[in-house]
C-alpha cells in the first residue's frame, strides 16, 4: 500500500499569530521583529503584503524599511507561538497518532492507516484540515500530500499560502524535477555550490546524476540526496510525542561588539564549543564532524565543515577542529559579528568505537581523563549554575552576551 504523507506548514506563522490580536492590520505590510534599538533588530517573520515588497526574514529592520517605508513592526511573543504550535499539533492528532513536528510551524502527518476513516481522499482531507485551521484557530496552512516525507515538504512549499499540492508517483517528475536543487530538503548552500560546479542545478539533474559519483563528491549524504530526488525516501513519520535524537547540536552567538583578531575569534569558538560539547554529553552522544559558520558585520555568512578522525564530545577537541576550519575560511584581520559551532554526524556514545592501533593506548587514556574532567565541570554547572566554572580561554563577560539564531537561519533544538 502506497503511503500517504502530509506536510503541513503554517503560513507566516509568527506574523499570523500576532495579527490575531491586530485584525485591523491584516491588509497592511507587517513584520515581527527583535528589538529595533539593538544589533538584534532583525526581521523574524513577515505577512504576505510585506513579502510583496521584498521584505525577508533575518534582514535588519533598516534594510526592510528601505524596501517598505510603511512597514508595521510588532514585537515577538514566543510563548504565544509555542501555545499555538501545541494547539495546531493537537488538531493534527485528531486524524493520526503519527505526527512529527519539524520546527515550531511545520509537521509531517502519516495518514496511511487512518485515511479510510475520513473519506479516503487525501486531497479532500488536506482541504478539510486547512478549513478547520482557518475556522478554529484563525491561521492558514499549506499542505503537501505525497508518498514520502521529502516530497510532501516540497509540496507544502510549492504553492502558498493556504493551498494543497499533491505529488504522486505519476506526476513527481513533472512537478519536482524542474525545481532548483536547493529546494530539496537537506541541500544546503555549500552542497548546492558543489553540485552547481558539476552542472546540477535542478532536482531532475540531481536524480539523473550518477549515484556513485555523488557519493564520491558528498559522501553518504550525496547518495541519500540522489535517493530523495528519485522519490526513494522511506523515512517514517515519528509517533506524536516521541522524542527523536538530534541530528545535530549547535550553538550560535551574535556578539555585542565585533570580534577582532585570531585570539578573540578563538575565544568565541572555545566558548561555543564548550557549550556544544556539554549538550552532546547531556544527550549521550558524540559527533563525527564539526561545522563552523562565520558572519561578518554586513550579515554575510561563510560556512565550512569537516569529518573527524574519531567521534568526540570533548570541548577542547571540538574547539581545535572548529578553529582549524576558521583558519581555512576566514581572514583573521577582518571583524566577526557572529559565530556558530555545530556538531554533526552524531552517534550514540556506546556506538562511538574509536579506531585503535598499537600506539593508541596512552592517547586513549588521556582522552578518558579529559572526558572525566569535562563531566566534572558539567556536574558543577548543573549544581551551581552555568557561570559557576568556565575555561580560561573564555574572555570575561563573553558568556553573558545575548544569544541569537545561528547564522544562516539554522535551528538546533536544545
Q: Output the CA–CA distances (angstroms, integers) from residue 373 to 55, 115, 313, 378, in the order listed.
A: 48, 53, 12, 9
Pull the grid cell for residue 55. 521584505
Asked if 222 and 215 count as a contact pair (C-beta separation under 8 A), the reply is: yes
* Residue 170: CA count within 13 A, CB half-sphere: 1
The DSSP-derived string for 338-386 is: EEEEEEEEEEEGGG------TT-HHHHHHHHHHHHHHHHHHHHHHHH-G
Q: Is 351 a catalytic residue?
A: no
First to last CA, the chain: 37
CB 274 within 8 A of CB 319: yes
Question: Rounded CA gap, 155 and 165, in Å?
Answer: 5
Helix (H) or strand (E) holding 112: none
Cell digits of residue 338: 557572529
**Contact status, residue 127 vs residue 141, Cβ threshold 8 Å:** no
Residues 6+ apart with CB under 8 A from 234: 148
Distance CA 340, CA 322 (A): 10
Catalytic hit among 48, 106, 317, 371 = 106
Phi-psi label, residue 24: left if phi above 0, alpha if psi -120 to 50, beta otherwise? alpha
CA pseudo-torsion sign 115, 116, 117, 120: positive
**Contact at 8 Å (CB) between 238 and 100?**
yes
Q: Rounded to whole angstroms, how far apart are CA atoms 196 and 182?
A: 10
The DSSP-derived string for 262-280 is HHHHHHHHHHHHHHHHHHH
Positions marked catalytic = 106
Amino acid at each position: 500500500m502506497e503511503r500517504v504523507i502530509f506536510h503541513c506548514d503554517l503560513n507566516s506563522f509568527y506574523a499570523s499569530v500576532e495579527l490575531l490580536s491586530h485584525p485591523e492590520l491584516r491588509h497592511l505590510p507587517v513584520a515581527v521583529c527583535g528589538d529595533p534599538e539593538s544589533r538584534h533588530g532583525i526581521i523574524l517573520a513577515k505577512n504576505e503584503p510585506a513579502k510583496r515588497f521584498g521584505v525577508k526574514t533575518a534582514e535588519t529592520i533598516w534594510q526592510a524599511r528601505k524596501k517598505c517605508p510603511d512597514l508595521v513592526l510588532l514585537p515577538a511573543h514566543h510563548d504565544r507561538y509555542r501555545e499555538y504550535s501545541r494547539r495546531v499539533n493537537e488538531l493534527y492528532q485528531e486524524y493520526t497518532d503519527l505526527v512529527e513536528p519539524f520546527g515550531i510551524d511545520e509537521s509531517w502527518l502519516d495518514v496511511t492507516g487512518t485515511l479510510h476513516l475520513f473519506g479516503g481522499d487525501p486531497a479532500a482531507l488536506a482541504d478539510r484540515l486547512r478549513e478547520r485551521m482557518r475556522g478554529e484557530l484563525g491561521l492558514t496552512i499549506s499542505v503537501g500530500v505525497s508518498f514520502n516525507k521529502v516530497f510532501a515538504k516540497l509540496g507544502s512549499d510549492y504553492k502558498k499560502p493556504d493551498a494543497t499540492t499533491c505529488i504522486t508517483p505519476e506526476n513527481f517528475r513533472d512537478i519536482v524535477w524542474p525545481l532548483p536543487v536547493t529546494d530539496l530538503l537537506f541541500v544546503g548552500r555549500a552542497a548546492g555550490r558543489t553540485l552547481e560546479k558539476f552542472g546540477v542545478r535542478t532536482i531532475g539533474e540531481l536524480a539523473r546524476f550518477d549515484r556513485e559519483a555523488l557519493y564520491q563528491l558528498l559522501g553518504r549524504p550525496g547518495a541519500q540526496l540522489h535517493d530523495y530526488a528519485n522519490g526513494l525516501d522511506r523515512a517514517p513519520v515519528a509517533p506524536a510525542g516521541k522524542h527523536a535524537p538530534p541530528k545535530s547540536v549547535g550553538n550560535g552567538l551574535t556578539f555585542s561588539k565585533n570580534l577582532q583578531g585570531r585570539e578573540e575569534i578563538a575565544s568565541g569558538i572555545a566558548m561555543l564549543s564548550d557549550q556544544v560539547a556539554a549538550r552532546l554529553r547531556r544527550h549521550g552522544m558524540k559527533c563525527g564532524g564539526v561545522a563552523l559558520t562565520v558572519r561578518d558585520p554586513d550579515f554575510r555568512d561563510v560556512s565550512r565543515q569537516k569529518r573527524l578522525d574519531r567521534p568526540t564530545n570533548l570541548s577542547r577537541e571540538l574547539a581545535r577542529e572548529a578553529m582549524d576550519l576558521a583558519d581555512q575560511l576566514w581572514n583573521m584581520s577582518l571583524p566577526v559579528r557572529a559565530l556558530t559551532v555545530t556538531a554533526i554526524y552524531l552517534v550514540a556514545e556506546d556506538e562511538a568505537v574509536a579506531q585503535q592501533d598499537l600506539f593508541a593506548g596512552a592517547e586513549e587514556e588521556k582522552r578518558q581523563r579529559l572526558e572525566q574532567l569535562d563531566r566534572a565541570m558539567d556536574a558543577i554547572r548543573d549544581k551551581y549554575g552555568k557561570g559557576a566554572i568556565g575555561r580560561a580561554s573564555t574572555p570575561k563577560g563573553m558568556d553573558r552576551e545575548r544569544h541569537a539564531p545561528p547564522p544562516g537561519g539554522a535551528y538546533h533544538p536544545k
